[in-house]
Copies of this chain bind each other. A is one copy, B any other.
């Protein structure tokens, strides 16, 4: 290779190295992703608990709307990125309890995730517009999407 050609390539190489360096810096570590997904599901659990308390006792529509909106935002918020390759095992707040099958070929995780998002969006809509009975029915539907995925892909605590 001629020297002139080598010199011409130097800036390209420099750009590549910088890009790689930025990507490496920005990509969160697997343990961080696991901690974030464990946190996201705890926030879902918190808001499930709030809705259940409202349905079982004094119904406060404003509280149910807030809780349903939070679940819907998380369900539609890109949870899949927290299950990136490299997070099959590892410790966030605790050792992950995701089963290997979630990461395997033929995993139905995408379908479950889409069902979760769909029913959570509908729950947020009904919380704001419908009565307690309709919210209760939809809350049951949402819970079944959680259970379906847990049955297949979440190891027992």
Binding site for B on A (CB under 8 A): 22-23, 26, 28, 35-36, 38-40, 42-43, 45-47, 49-50, 53, 56-57, 63, 66-67, 69-70, 72-74, 76-78, 82, 93
Contact = CB atoms under 8 A, between A and B. Distances in A.
Which applies to chain A's interface (DSSP): helix, strand, loop or mixed?
helix
B26 A53 contact: yes
A25 to B, nearest CB: 9
| Copy total for this chain | 2
Contacts of A66: 76-78
A34 B38 CA distance: 15
Contacts of A57: 22-23, 26
Nearest to A78: B66
Q: Which 9 A-B pairs have the closest CB atoms?
A: A73-B73, A39-B42, A39-B39, A36-B46, A70-B77, A70-B73, A93-B93, A66-B77, A26-B53
